[in-house]
Amino acid sequence: MNYPNGIRKTAAIRHGHSVPTKQSYGNRGMSLEEDINSTNEYYLETNQAIIHKKPTPIQIVKVHYPKRSAAMITEGYFRSKSTSDYNGIYKGKYIDFEAKETKNKTLFPLANIHEHQFEHMKSIIHHGGICFCIIRFAIYNETYLLEASNLIACWENMLNGGKKSIPYETLKQEGYLIPFKYQARVDYLKIIDQLYF
């Protein structure tokens, strides 16, 4: 069993004492999306919030039936541009956010988010919703919440000839580190409480 702090007990005994061994966070085997989905299920089960992953609208064109009981989609197209990954309601407020994972060590490329998604974020803010992005630096296994207003400012700066990415150090300063927990793996509502309630 892996524990939230990445340490697990081992039966190995050195000098008569049980010694905890460090477990690599990279070995959890969970992607950011899986961690968020698990967290959202926990929020729903504990009646804290109702937040779901948005399905991507796909138009199915061709289906292959190798067996009567099995169907395989062989051709399909996105019906429309996606807006963001997750939305729902928390304490009477609409929540909308994007989740991104990068293997880059030094920066988060803004190209990971499309122009229509930035426009969507602006619209959510304009209408009084809570909007943000959850970004995981996989190499460090660190997950940050960055408010949409900060992300939009970086994007607008890029459009005016500025940087095409957010440096890791900047994200550490402007974002909020989300600690890994056992039940709510990406417990972003704690940060939302601090920022909005």
> pLDDT tens, 70-126?
777 777 766 656 678 899 999 999 999 999 999 999 999 999 999 999 999 999 999
Using DSSP, state whether 140 is helix, strand or coil: coil
Question: What's the pLDDT at 57?
Answer: 62
Whether residue 187 is annotated as binding a ligand: the answer is no
- Segment 143-147 long-range contacts (CB within 8 Å, at least 24 positions apart): 143/32, 143/35, 143/177, 143/178, 143/180, 143/186, 144/171, 144/172, 144/175, 144/176, 144/177, 144/178, 145/175, 145/176, 145/178, 145/188, 145/191, 146/171, 146/174, 146/175, 146/176, 147/195
Residue 123: CB atoms within 10 A of its CB come to: 13
Give the chain's mean pLDDT.
Answer: 83
Please check the confidence at residue 40 and state whether its pLDDT lies above 70. Answer: yes
Residue 142 counted as an annotated binding residue = no
What's the predicted TM-score (pTM) here? 0.75
Residue 85 among known ligand-binding residues? yes
Give residue 94's pLDDT. 97
Mean pLDDT of 54-59: 70
Ranges 8-22, 31-45, 115-129: which has the least confidence: 8-22
SS3 state of residue 70: strand
- 193 annotated ligand-binding residue: no
CATH number of 31-196: 3.40.1350.10
pLDDT at 25 over 60: no
